[in-house]
Amino acid sequence: MKRFETLAFLGFMIFLIFSAAKVFGAEEGDMKTLSPYFFVENGDSAAESFPLKNTDVSVQVNGVIADVVVRQTYGNEGKTPINARYVFPASTRAAVQGMKMTIGEKVIVAKIKEKETAKKEFEAAKKSGKSASLLSQQRPNVFTMNVANIMPGDIVDIELHYTELLVPSEGVYEFMYPTVVGPRYSSQSKEDAPEDDQWVENPYLKMGTPVVKTTFNITSRLSTGMPLHDVACTSHETAVRFEGASVAHITLKNEGDFGGNRDYILHYRLADKQIQSGLMLYKGDDENFFLLTVQPPKRISDSDIPPREYIFLVDVSGSMNGFPLDVSKELLKNLIGALRPDDKFNVVLFAGCSQLMSPASLPATKENIEAAIRTIDRQQGGGGTELLAALKNALNIPRDESFSRSVIVVTDGYIDAEKAVFDTIHQNLSQTNVFAFGIGSSVNRYLIEGIAHAGMGEPFIVTKPGEGASAARKFCNYVKAPLLKDIKLNFEGFETYDLEPSNIPDMFSERPIVVAGKWKGDAVGQIRVSGNSGQGPYLQEFNVADSKSLAENAPLRYLWARTKIARLSDFQFGREEGANREEITSLGLKYSLLTKYTSFIAVHEEVRNPDGAATDVKQPLPLPQGVSNLAIGQSMTNVPEPELYLMLLLLGVFIAFTRKRRVAGNRG
């Protein structure tokens, strides 16, 4: 029998090694899916040519407009020319309006061009030995920077310029600068994946690996025109210095500490929780733009709230392991525990597949709530992230028409099939409200904000432990009833057109109504905003002549164009891919904006690398803070299911047999 045990053990180990080899040792071309992978230090000659040396961000906030300049410095420390690609994030609301490249004393201002044209020019410059840079959008919050023919000893600066509109929630303004793109789960094959998804296959540093050659720094200046209160950075240790009541400078306390593995988040309030409401005007050479910000009404009492059904869709995949899943559990305990007895709820857990707590939603009794919390507490985190299938399962749960149904998605958003999720939500708007909680230090805000946009709701982000309880309270206040319904805008004597958004949904959150658009003629007349609140009819009026056209409001043209592009492109509700390509391209070219169909290209016309020989480098990214190595997916979860089940069966048989032999031996 000992000989049988030895053979069984050897057989199991051979099978394990063979299966693991298929997961870990496959050649790049043999990978079944498009996947991120771990960077191997000194694994190739390009490792010592690590191109990104520094990221420096300067933020200037004037009123409600943030003006941001990002400077990235690349350096070729190797002995051969290199071509490099770097994947980096951006805010989903950023209107990227400019780029320039500096090599030594030479400054090249980039030009906005149709994406394919820019790519061809870049490849031609690369082939001819010219230094060049190409900025392209892969997602509204994911960009790639390609640089070509960086010569040994070169220091190359790439500068990006963008603007962003800041909209407060419950009186709190937030500026967020994302620093790292989290690894995305994808079920696409590498060979069949479209070009815009190829960035998913990017190297990552393992958890805890020091980023010794890259530095990160960010400075912010707030100039609000109204007294500032409670200025604080919730993500990094900062120093705040005031220059008067309405101006503040925020700097990192220790620039030497690497802070580029988590979102930079800055919060501030104005005196007495005021918001900067009113009308902003800009008169241009050929077009005029306006921005209207309307103070929201107050909340209604609990007695006016109808019965509700909540379905909690919870991500328990590998990237949620550790801090994100721990926060997620705490968050859900608070959310489910706050339900009223006449509410209903359900829980759907998802990773590679999904699991329903109950075929139909359950009353929010003490016993059912405790059972749900026990189910959530048992989760460990592992596997892929099949959100779309789980969402469809949630939407197919039988519903009671007398209940207001809401689905709450809790995830870090590390998937690449965002648009299919948005389309599914948008198609079910008449039946279900959908809200999103992003959990993690560097969540995929495109997915989280896109879910909110598709569901005409509000995104919630929890970036670190300790925020779950307050986020749950905020969510409960938010979803229990709309603040304002049947919202209408009327313009009298003020000729407007191209409004964004053209229709205003019900207001759930204590966020102002924000409408951008164009105007003709004189800045006169009135704007009336009406609707129905819990206290009865609602009305606000604005006298246009009270507002002046200011040169400092020039960014309104970019913000309006970015808002329209977002509606046409980012979330693609119910439209075929590329349906609005011509209009989006035209907007990008006219307003000099980066879009999915336009790119920035800068070419140094001097031939600097005549033979064109260069080493290709993919810049490795750090894992977001709090995200474990399981996010990359190179674990037993990558073993095909039949092989995994067979492996586990063999292991179980072997352990049981060995135990039996030991017991028999002890008895003997």
Higher pLDDT, 306 or 72: 72
Reported CATH class of domain 285-299+483-553: mainly beta
pLDDT at residue 23 is higher than 70: no
For domain 38-271+598-618, give the CATH number. Answer: 2.60.40
Pick 383 or 121 by higher pLDDT.
Answer: 121
Host H or E run for residue 248: strand 247-252
Among 76-90, 279-293, 403-417, 589-603, which is the least confidently predicted range?
403-417
Q: How confident is the model at residue 120 (pLDDT cuts 50, 70, 90)?
A: very high
Rounded to an integer, what is the distance from CA 644 to the centroid of its chain?
Answer: 32
Q: Tell me how far apart the alpha carbons of residues 412 and 451 are, in angstroms, rounded to a whole number.
A: 13
User: What pLDDT is stored for residue 27 in this prediction?
Assistant: 40
3-state secondary structure 292-325: EEECCCCCCCHHHCCCEEEEEEEECCHHHCEHHH
Residue 21: is its pLDDT beyond 50?
no
Encode burial over 513-530: b for 16+ CB neighbours within 10 A, e otherwise.
bbbbbbbeeebebebebe
Domain boundaries, the chain: 2-31+641-667, 38-271+598-618, 285-299+483-553, 306-479
The pLDDT of residue 654 is: 53
Instruction: Give yes or no on whether 38-271+598-618 and 306-479 have one common fold.
Output: no
- pLDDT for 321 equals 79
Angular region, 149: left φ>0, alpha ψ -120 to 50, beta rest: left
Mean pLDDT of all residues in 119-141:
93
Residue-level pLDDT at 658: 53
513-520/228-233 β-pairing? unpaired
Average pLDDT over residues 278-288: 95
**pLDDT confidence of 237, banded at 50, 70, 90?**
very high
Higher pLDDT, 382 or 611: 611
Question: pLDDT higher for 302 or 79?
Answer: 79
Lowest model confidence (mean pLDDT) among 133-137, 239-243, 486-490: 486-490
Q: Is the pLDDT of residue 252 over 90?
A: yes
Give the mean pLDDT of the chain.
81
CA distance 415 to 383: 12
Note the pLDDT of residue 403: 82
Q: What is the 3-state secondary structure (H, E, C) of 451-515?
A: HHHHCCCCEEEECCCCCHHHHHHHHHHHHCCCCEEEEEEEEECCEEEEEECCCCCCECCCCCEEE
Highest average pLDDT, of 283-292, 355-364, 639-648, comes from 283-292
Q: Which residue has the higher pLDDT, 606 or 658?
A: 606
pLDDT of 649 strictly over 70: no
pLDDT single digits (tens) 41-66:
555 444 445 567 888 999 999 999 99
The top-scoring range by mean pLDDT among 49-63, 97-111, 374-388 is: 97-111
**Separate counts of helices (H) and strands (E) for the chain:** 11, 33
> How does pLDDT run across 480-495, given as a tens digit for each residue?
777 787 889 999 999 9
Question: pLDDT tens digits, residue range 400-451?
Answer: 888 878 888 888 888 766 778 888 887 786 678 888 888 887 788 888 888 8
36 has a pLDDT exceeding 80: no
Comparison of pLDDT for 538 and 188, the residue scoring more:
538
User: The dihedral of CA 471, 474, 478, 480: what is its sign?
Assistant: positive
Percent of the chain having pLDDT more than 70? 81
CATH class label, 306-479: alpha beta
HEC assignment per residue over 206-223: CCCCCCCCCEEEEEEEEE
Give the number of other CB atoms < 10 A from CB of residue 103: 22
**What pLDDT shows up at residue 338?**
79
Tell me the pLDDT tens digit for each residue of 344-380. 999 998 887 778 889 999 998 888 888 888 887 777 6
pLDDT of res. 664? 52
Residue 102, both tokens: 């500096």
Instruction: Write out pLDDT tens, residues 650-659.
Output: 555 555 555 5
CA distances, 509 to each of 296, 486, 506, 599 (Å): 8, 15, 9, 35
